Amino acid sequence: MALIKSVRGLTPKWGKACYFSENATIVGDVVMGDECSVWFNAMVRGDVNYIRIGNRCNVQDGACLHTTYKTGPLVIEDDVSIGHLACVHACTIRRGALIGMNSTLLDHCDIGEGAIVAAGALVLGGTKIGDHEIWGGVPARFIKKTAPNQAESFAEHYVMYSKWYLEDEDK
């Protein structure tokens, strides 16, 4: 089981059918919905502000989710995929978005519904990415619009993958 840790009297909470790998870390004021997954070496750290994660979200291997004291919670809506080694800090990610591998999202950015942040991108603080837009680069800039369901399909895959692991735990 993952490291689940209380801090300042706040204990993580989650819904049904969630999968957390053995070396994932979830700390403090974290609330996530159903069918979420937090993968190997990922950290979800709600120690200095709150983190809210919707249903069917996945936090992939080595990703780091954190907040800013008093001014910056982290809010992630349903069906969001956070790619391997991404650093997501005190921002808002709308339904169905895909955050690419090794990307960085800084405080108070807002990622639109079904948007894609490309692998390795740096989204500066306060940046607003529109619905169904692809942004990439350092600093991230608009590239083009997404194809239908381009980002959203990743969350569906990770719900399936997490079920493989949950089934093996039940044996």
Whole-prediction pTM value? Answer: 0.96
Domain ranges of the chain: 3-170
Say what the pLDDT of residue 52 is.
98
User: Chunked in runs of 10, what are the mean pLDDT values of the chain (171 residues)?
Assistant: 95 97 98 98 98 98 97 97 98 98 98 98 98 98 94 89 88 65
Query: How many whole angstroms separate alpha carbon 30 and alpha carbon 14?
Result: 8
Question: CA dihedral defined by 80, 84, 157, 24, rounded to 10 degrees?
Answer: -90
Spatial distance between the Cα atoms of 48 and 116, rounded to a whole number of angstroms? 27
β 141-145/133-136 pair status: antiparallel
Report CA-CA distances (Å) from 60 to 24, 40, 44, 71, 130: 10, 7, 11, 26, 23
* pLDDT for 171: 65
Residue by residue, DSSP assigns 30-91 as EEE-TT-EE-TT-EEEEEEEEEEE-TT-EE-TT-EEE-BTTTB-EEE-TT-EE-TT-EEES-
- What are residue 31's DSSP bridge partners? 13, 52
* CATH code linked to domain 3-170: 2.160.10.10
